Amino acid sequence: MTVGVIQKMRTGLGPPVTYQLPIGESLIELNTLIGHELQITFAGVINCLACGRKITKSFNQGHCYPCFKRLASCDQCIIKPELCHLHEGTCREPDWGQRHCLQPHVVYLANSSGLKVGITRATQVPTRWIDQGATQALPIFNVSERRISGLLEVAMRQVVSDRTDWRRMLKGSPDKLDMIGERDRLLAQASTAIGEVAKVHQDGEVVAAPVIPVCEITYPVHRYPDKIRAHNLDKTPRIEGRLWGIKGQYLILDSGVLNIRKFGGYQVSLEHQT
């Protein structure tokens, strides 16, 4: 039995993607547990991932309410990067903003539950793609900071979704796409909106991504569920089931799926048997 506070799974590109689950001071190699019966039990205690204090309710995937209101990483501009206000001098944590927002970002296309556009820090490639359960991904722009990547994402949203349907993503692999062809098609359709963003920024702040092979991602899934049932540790503190696979930040069990990231900071015990 392993006991401790859980955090989002750590990943490696593979193939297939490799997963490690942080529980307290331990790192559980999850790929080796696929096919095994698991028991995950919530102890009823949550620790804020930022300050560590015990809480009864989690905000923004593992934070106490004061940290949720105080931290720049919990601000609305994390969800809507086009609203980044660091340049206005109103960031909750300017030093954090310098380290995370005023850094190179990538605007990309991904195939997860279908084609979508997204953004991430350059250092988070391919982690971000894996966390979204993408099976294919392709950078389309390299930009100098987070806010610009958000503005480009807004421009691209006119012609392609920026959302992942997590239920559809967990039911199987999407049809393989011609990502290069899709990129060219969407860039042509959104050219006017993209041009409006590019023209108000300096040379070098918005650059077309270099031509590279499409990133193909496979996941350690032996079987996908026919119907998606989401486990909730708040409602059902003990979860049991055979681990069928792992995709995105989800454990796929024969009894349902568990979003590990959603329950970051929860104190749990993990047991397994063949």
Q: DSSP string of 176-219? A: P--HHHHHHHHHHHTHHHHHHHHTTS-TTSEEEPPP-PPEE---
E strand or H helix at 68: helix 65-70
Which tens digits make up the pLDDT trace of 28-46? 999 999 999 999 999 999 9
In this prediction, residue 231 has a pLDDT band, given cuts at 50, 70 and 90, of very high
In this prediction, residue 202 has a pLDDT band, given cuts at 50, 70 and 90, of confident
Which tens digits make up the pLDDT trace of 79-101? 999 999 999 999 999 999 999 99
Which tens digits make up the pLDDT trace of 133-154? 999 999 999 999 999 999 999 9
Is the pLDDT score of 14 beyond 90?
Answer: no
- Angle, alpha carbons 65-9-40 (nearest 5°): 80
Is the pLDDT score of 274 beyond 80?
Answer: no
How many Cα atoms are found within 13 Å in the side-chain-facing hemisphere of 135? Answer: 19
pLDDT of residue 1: 85
Tokens of 189: 């359709």
> Could you give the strand order of the β-sheet that contains 10-12, starting from the edge strand earlier in sequence?
10-12, 18-23, 26-29
Report the distance separating Cα 141 and Cα 108, nearest Å.
7
Is the pLDDT score of 116 beyond 90?
Answer: yes
Q: Give pTM, 2 decimals.
A: 0.94
To the nearest 10 degrees (0 to 180), the angle between helices 191-198 and 146-156 is 160
Average pLDDT, the chain: 96
Residues of the chain with pLDDT > 90: what percent? 96
Residue 174 gets which letter from DSSP?
A: P
